[in-house]
Chain A
Amino acid sequence: MASFTASSVSISSAFCSFNQTQGSNLRKASVSFSGKSFPSQRLSLPRFRVSCAAKPETVNKVVEIVKKQLALPDDRPVAGDSKFQVLGADSLDTVEIVMGLEEEFGICVEEESAQSITTVQEAADLIEELLEKK
């Protein structure tokens, strides 16, 4: 069943913490919206929140979980900007996806956060934010 979702801007609300000691792990700060991300010189802009683009491994894991939940064929293209609803997820699917992510990554997703996850990228970003807090 489709339930309404509040319109939400798809920008992760995580502030980026640069990990400068781990050179190889240095994450790019980027402002991303509508799934397109580009590097930004400034850390924080007045109206946009900076998000760290999640590691590709995280995104891939999310894609795997989503494809499994929605029983999508392997060749169906699913990327960071793929919206769950567009892929065919109803509210029960979305809740199951969140539960699958919790199990996979050992995190706990609050309802407020779960409600704002609408794409693969948003899920991946939230996962990394929660992992960082642990």
Chain B
Amino acid sequence: MRSGFLRMKLHCFDRTFIRYSHSLNAVQLPAPMETHLWYVNPSEVKSESLLKQYLDILSPCERENVLRLQGKELRKSALLARALVRTTITKYQMSSPVEPRSLKFRKNVHGKPEVCWPSIDDWDPPPLHFNLSHTSSLIACGVTINSQIGIDVEEKQRSIKHNILSFARRYFSKYEVELLAAISDPQIQQREFIKLWTLKEAYVKALGKGFSGAPFKTFTIRFRGVMEGDSEAFNESSTKGFEIVVDSLDDPTDVSNIWHFSLLELDGSHYAAICTEKQSALDGKINIPGKLMVWKTIPIVEDEYVSGTDAVKIICGFQ
């Protein structure tokens, strides 16, 4: 009876979306403490007609924003970012009353984007959180239930215009500067800088208060030996047995008990940092190590589950 009622409601919508909901796999919501990561490589999306389809599922405002950008590659990655987030989120509906193009977003009081689900009779929206990050060469969307999430991706080889230590002295904490300064190999130093940058960005995005909500200088992110419990000088080959923790200079509470960090390498070319709330912080239960599930996707076309393959190398933070 109930499903018949829902079917009746579905007839109010455009027929194409019904085809969509059957054609591409609906995905189970993440379990608690599970993180889902979906990413797309823009260079693998070549079809102009596909890009037109993506443009078609954006809101008029998003479309306008994309077309305003200067540069074809810039427009393409911005377009893919919106297409990725819309198609990813709608995958998690058990019955699909909302199609990608109908999804609405809003910003919370601090400006962090969240989904604005419609209220439909006899239907509960999936209780998910998401966060998006993109570079010109990779776009990623992280999804969790119940937990705040922040992600950041960056090319491993990304170089900055300023001297790394000058930049770090201006923006990073004293501890982080000392750590970077202790690295003599410039290539390793550059990579560790990028890792730190993505981790710090992911934290700020998870907090959801914007850059000024947690100025970079006011917190330290470091690798801590899991056994010993004290911090070790970071060594590129020795990240096993380490966890990533955050210390806040401003916040007297032990924020490392709240936030879980993980760092991955995607497709051998990008670092991805993920920050989520720990289970114990959410419901007082003992921490269970989280599971990560990663899909490489071409929105609308195909999803490839890549966890456990060479495409995903876990540097720290997940089993």
Contact = CB atoms under 8 A, between A and B. Distances in A.
B161 interface: yes
A1 B68 contact: no
B211 A111 contact: yes
B160 A1 contact: no
Contacts of B171: 95, 99
A87 B74 CA distance: 9
B135 interface: yes
Interface stretch (B49-57, B94-102, B107-115, B307-315): B107-115
B284 interface: no
B197 A111 contact: no
B126 interface: no
Contacts of B201: 1, 3, 91
A96 B68 contact: no
A99 B107 contact: no
A85 B78 CA distance: 11
Contacts of A87: 70
A3 B205 contact: yes
B interface, by DSSP: helix, strand, loop or mixed?
mixed
A2 B74 contact: no
Contacts of B78: 2
Contacts, number: 75
A100 B170 CA distance: 11
A7 interface: yes
A69 B159 CA distance: 11
B112 A96 contact: no
A69 B217 CA distance: 22
Interface string B208-223: 0011100110000000
Given A2-B133, A88-B70, A90-B135, A96 B205 contact: no
B111 A68 contact: no
Nearest to B158: A92
B69 A6 contact: no
A7 B107 contact: yes
Contacts of B135: 1, 90
Given A76-B70, A88-B71, A7 B111 contact: yes
A107 interface: no
Contact of A92 (B68, B81, B160): B160
A42 B204 CA distance: 41
Interface string A1-42: 111111100000000000000000000000000000000000
A78 to B, nearest CB: 10
A111 B205 CA distance: 15
Contacts of A91: 201, 211
Interface in B135-162: 135, 152-154, 158, 160-162
Nearest to B209: A6
B4 to A, nearest CB: 41
A130 interface: no
Contacts of A7: 107, 111
A86 B133 contact: no
B274 interface: no
A76 B71 CA distance: 11
A74 interface: no
Contacts of A6: 107, 110-111, 210
Interface in A80-112: 85-88, 90-92, 95-96, 99-100, 102, 110-112
A111 to B, nearest CB: 4
B133 A92 contact: no
Interface of A: 1-7, 68-69, 76, 85-88, 90-92, 95-96, 99-100, 102, 110-112, 114-115
Interface of B: 68-71, 74, 78, 81, 107, 110-113, 132-135, 152-154, 158, 160-162, 167, 170-171, 197-198, 201, 204-205, 210-212, 215-216
17 contacts: A1-B133, A2-B78, A2-B81, A2-B134, A4-B113, A5-B210, A86-B70, A88-B70, A91-B201, A91-B211, A92-B158, A92-B197, A96-B162, A96-B167, A111-B211, A115-B211, A115-B212
